Chains A and B, each alone.
Chain A
């Protein structure tokens, strides 16, 4: 079977192509979503780092932690993460990349500002922490010394300063700061003994450092808390989430398309398969039919071949026998006439001439019958029906055979008058009637009447020939119409065994048949039906 591209096949191949394309798009969307998700995870890290950085600064501000390694690490890590985020995943669509890069850049910028604030915080806070450590120690020591040596006034002043500055440092409000500065000025203006000058200077220095640093650190922390970095990173995160959602939606849409394409391709493939099965089955059935008919024709040919071969065999055997008999009659009569003719009486001579004529007639009959049978067996029996007056035809046949009947066999004609014109092949019909009539005469004792009737039954012309002869044995009837078959009770009555075969063929050629009714020793009736009239 030749493989060809059916429409269905092209359709599902195209569907497969579409499926592949959808697949590629879906994969791209999926990988973009995955990349974006990883990118988003990095942003989450940045957010966590940023949050932690703020917590660390606050803790450091509140004195819980007095070292900056962790803050430094958070700043550096956040710097690295944000730098990495400025290069969004390469597989993204340009729009996403630009938006994300923009957001990441502004986040990095915001972080740089934040980092500068952190640096300032570290520097200022370190000084504040060290002054906050030293100042109360030194101030207490100075106060106690002053109380001991110079009375309560100077000691009280330093104590006021200590309290005010500590208050300011602990809860840095404007009021506290005012109070601390006032106390600071009071101590500055007070007179202290020479021994205490250096200590007072130390106390005042740290007081001043604290008073200066507290608002500065507070300001830095406040700025840090409202730094744009958190917001900028959140914006980046939002952009990424949006991009992820968009890609996920795209992937989902592509997925639906893939499923639809898959279903369509499957259906088309199935249809293609079914169609191919069906056309193959059809093709096979056709081949089988052709094979069967070819086989039939072959068998028919074979049968006909066999029949022809049989016929030939029978013809050969017949010629060897049936033709030889009249020939030998002719030969012997001719030899006798040659040798003794001049000496014979005229009566005897004519007797032998009559024998020769009779033998020739027999041979002619034989040849006619053989011709009919041969043509019939070869399927070449000519059938040329023509309109015919039945009554005229019957009379002509009977008249032509008058010599056969002599006076010994009176023929009783019974023709339904008037019969319409029949369509009959007259030549074949003549064979039918003459054979039946000659048989009736031949196998009836002298004086036995022969009845011949012709009538119409529907479309059939029915010719009946009856005799009161020897009849046909039951056992002979089966093969009665075969060539060269003769009844078992014919005795010495000469015959070729071809007559009835010819009758049968001729009747069949007319679309009719022959029936026989017979009782051995009483007589025989042949009824021939020829389809000779219009069915109406």
Chain B
């Protein structure tokens, strides 16, 4: 018996050692992020139909989107400035919440942010999670930090269980941030006529819109408004070729752009190039909400960014193209 044990021990040890895997060579090269389908002719790519996300976190973010406890006074929710029947943006030039000063900037859309690279009008924030601080601490908006909001939610108790279900460490500031950002990433507006066109359905753009698309590329709009979101991935000075603010007058704190945060002279009047997705729904336009209609916005852009005056036909064509950027709108939070 004893020797059997010896032999078994020996052979097993030998075997195990012999079979132990070798340290593998470099793993097969990991796949790099896929390149876009964009070409010099079509410097765009269609939006995907959906984004894969944890449904529990999305649901949690959806509830939080309408949660008034996020504001210090308990009277304002994200929904109050981001209307789902208005392309995810606010209806007025600036946002006005009860008992507060109006915001310095026009409220941007919360749609298709999963594909954006820069956030907020100043383009300073590089992630959705980071930019959440801007509306939170702004006394004209939520007026409290996310930490305070978390404490309010915890005291309220309605969210504790759902957070524990969705996150291993429950209701933390990071998880609160993540839940809201995750929900915002789920807000995609796919299948706009332009997307269908990009997928090969050439008839999806009408004649006028197609003319507008050509002008959009030819006149250089597409130099900045490009990529999946037709904008939203770089910052640019408002008034590259002409001084917009000299003509408009009354430069306020909201006009500083990126310089409001970086305090650098070269960042003055530098703003995020906004996405033009669903732009037909999100009037008024520009950071100050000064362009009431798409036509106004297109003319201002042509003049100050391109140094060009467009004819009425050209503006109409480009506006027709911009209408083709309206996709299927997501349902409002319940």
The verdict on B308 contacting chain A, using a C-beta distance below 8 Å, is yes
The verdict on B311 contacting chain A, using a C-beta distance below 8 Å, is no
Cα–Cα distance between A129 and B224 once the two chains are bound (Å): 9
B residues near A126, Cβ cutoff 8 Å: 223-224, 234, 236
Pairwise interchain contact B29-A44, C-beta atoms closer than 8 A: yes
Pairwise interchain contact A130-B219, C-beta atoms closer than 8 A: yes
What is the size, in residues, of chain B's interface with A at 8 Å between Cβ atoms? 49
B residues near A269, Cβ cutoff 8 Å: 6, 10
On whether A119 and B235 interact (CB within 8 A), knowing A45-B29, A45-B30, A130-B219, the answer reads: yes
A residues near B17, Cβ cutoff 8 Å: 23, 258, 262
- Closest B residue to A137 using CB positions: B218
Pairwise interchain contact A68-B227, C-beta atoms closer than 8 A: yes
Pairwise interchain contact A69-B224, C-beta atoms closer than 8 A: no
- B290-304 CB contacts (< 8 Å) to partner A: none
The verdict on B19 contacting chain A, using a C-beta distance below 8 Å, is no
Tell me if A's interface is mostly helix, strand, loop or mixed: helix
The verdict on B306 contacting chain A, using a C-beta distance below 8 Å, is yes
A residues near B53, Cβ cutoff 8 Å: none
- Min CB gap B194→A, angstroms: 14
- Min CB gap B8→A, angstroms: 11
Q: Which 8 residue pairs are nearest across A and B when measured between Cβ atoms?
A: A130-B220, A69-B227, A67-B43, A67-B226, A130-B223, A41-B27, A33-B23, A126-B223
**Can you give 5 A-B contacts (C-beta < 8 A)?**
A41-B26, A48-B29, A67-B44, A269-B6, A273-B3
Option from A16, A70, A258 in Cβ contact (under 8 Å) with B36: A70
The verdict on A73 contacting chain B, using a C-beta distance below 8 Å, is yes
Cα–Cα distance between A40 and B29 once the two chains are bound (Å): 10
- B32-56 CB contacts (< 8 Å) to partner A: 32-33, 35-36, 38, 40, 43-45
The verdict on A205 contacting chain B, using a C-beta distance below 8 Å, is yes
Pairwise interchain contact B40-A37, C-beta atoms closer than 8 A: no
Pairwise interchain contact A77-B40, C-beta atoms closer than 8 A: no
- A186-235 CB contacts (< 8 Å) to partner B: 198, 201-202, 205-206, 209
What 0/1 pattern do residues 6 to 37 of A give for CB contact below 8 A with B? Answer: 00000000001001000100000010011001
Pairwise interchain contact A133-B45, C-beta atoms closer than 8 A: no
B residues near A73, Cβ cutoff 8 Å: 33, 36
Pairwise interchain contact A77-B33, C-beta atoms closer than 8 A: yes
- Closest A residue to B7 using CB positions: A269
- B1-32 CB contacts (< 8 Å) to partner A: 2-3, 6, 9-10, 13-14, 17, 20, 23-27, 29-30, 32
- B112-140 CB contacts (< 8 Å) to partner A: 117
- Min CB gap B182→A, angstroms: 17
Pairwise interchain contact B32-A130, C-beta atoms closer than 8 A: no
Cα–Cα distance between A422 and B176 once the two chains are bound (Å): 128
The verdict on B333 contacting chain A, using a C-beta distance below 8 Å, is no
On whether A68 and B25 interact (CB within 8 A), knowing A45-B32, A127-B240, A205-B241, the answer reads: no
Interface residues on A, range: 35 or more
Pairwise interchain contact B32-A49, C-beta atoms closer than 8 A: yes
- Min CB gap B308→A, angstroms: 6
The verdict on A65 contacting chain B, using a C-beta distance below 8 Å, is yes
Pairwise interchain contact B218-A133, C-beta atoms closer than 8 A: yes
Pairwise interchain contact B23-A251, C-beta atoms closer than 8 A: yes
What 0/1 pattern do residues 385 to 416 of A give for CB contact below 8 A with B? Answer: 00000000000000000000000000000000
Seen from chain B, the residues whose Cβ lies within 8 Å of a Cβ on chain A are: 2-3, 6, 9-10, 13-14, 17, 20, 23-27, 29-30, 32-33, 35-36, 38, 40, 43-45, 117, 218-224, 226-228, 233-237, 240-242, 305-309
Given contacts A262-B17, A269-B6, 11 further A-B contacts (CB under 8 A): A3-B2, A34-B24, A42-B30, A69-B38, A69-B227, A123-B235, A123-B236, A129-B223, A130-B220, A130-B224, A133-B218
Tell me if B's interface is mostly helix, strand, loop or mixed: loop
The verdict on A529 contacting chain B, using a C-beta distance below 8 Å, is no
- Closest A residue to B25 using CB positions: A37
- Min CB gap B274→A, angstroms: 14
Pairwise interchain contact A122-B45, C-beta atoms closer than 8 A: no
Pairwise interchain contact A131-B220, C-beta atoms closer than 8 A: yes
Option from A19, A134, A262, A273 in Cβ contact (under 8 Å) with B307: A134
B residues near A44, Cβ cutoff 8 Å: 26, 29-30
A residues near B27, Cβ cutoff 8 Å: 37-38, 41
Option from B14, B26, B223 in Cβ contact (under 8 Å) with A40: B26
Pairwise interchain contact B227-A41, C-beta atoms closer than 8 A: no
On whether A65 and B40 interact (CB within 8 A), knowing A34-B24, A41-B30, the answer reads: yes
Cα–Cα distance between A119 and B258 once the two chains are bound (Å): 13
Pairwise interchain contact B227-A72, C-beta atoms closer than 8 A: yes
On whether A206 and B32 interact (CB within 8 A), knowing A72-B227, A123-B234, the answer reads: no
What 0/1 pattern do residues 107 to 131 of A give for CB contact below 8 A with B? Answer: 0000000000001001100110111
Option from A64, A209, A262, A272 in Cβ contact (under 8 Å) with B241: A209
Cα–Cα distance between A33 and B32 once the two chains are bound (Å): 24
Pairwise interchain contact B40-A66, C-beta atoms closer than 8 A: yes
The verdict on A248 contacting chain B, using a C-beta distance below 8 Å, is yes
B residues near A472, Cβ cutoff 8 Å: none
A residues near B35, Cβ cutoff 8 Å: 70
What 0/1 pattern do residues 73 to 87 of A give for CB contact below 8 A with B? Answer: 110110000000000
The verdict on A373 contacting chain B, using a C-beta distance below 8 Å, is no
The verdict on A265 contacting chain B, using a C-beta distance below 8 Å, is yes
The verdict on A101 contacting chain B, using a C-beta distance below 8 Å, is no
Cα–Cα distance between A276 and B3 once the two chains are bound (Å): 10
Pairwise interchain contact A37-B23, C-beta atoms closer than 8 A: yes
- Min CB gap A454→B, angstroms: 72
On whether A133 and B235 interact (CB within 8 A), knowing A41-B27, A69-B228, the answer reads: no
Pairwise interchain contact A69-B23, C-beta atoms closer than 8 A: no
Cα–Cα distance between A30 and B24 once the two chains are bound (Å): 10
B residues near A33, Cβ cutoff 8 Å: 23
- Min CB gap A92→B, angstroms: 14
Cα–Cα distance between A38 and B30 once the two chains are bound (Å): 10
B residues near A48, Cβ cutoff 8 Å: 29, 32
B residues near A297, Cβ cutoff 8 Å: none
Cα–Cα distance between A67 and B2 once the two chains are bound (Å): 76
B residues near A41, Cβ cutoff 8 Å: 26-27, 29-30
- Min CB gap B298→A, angstroms: 14
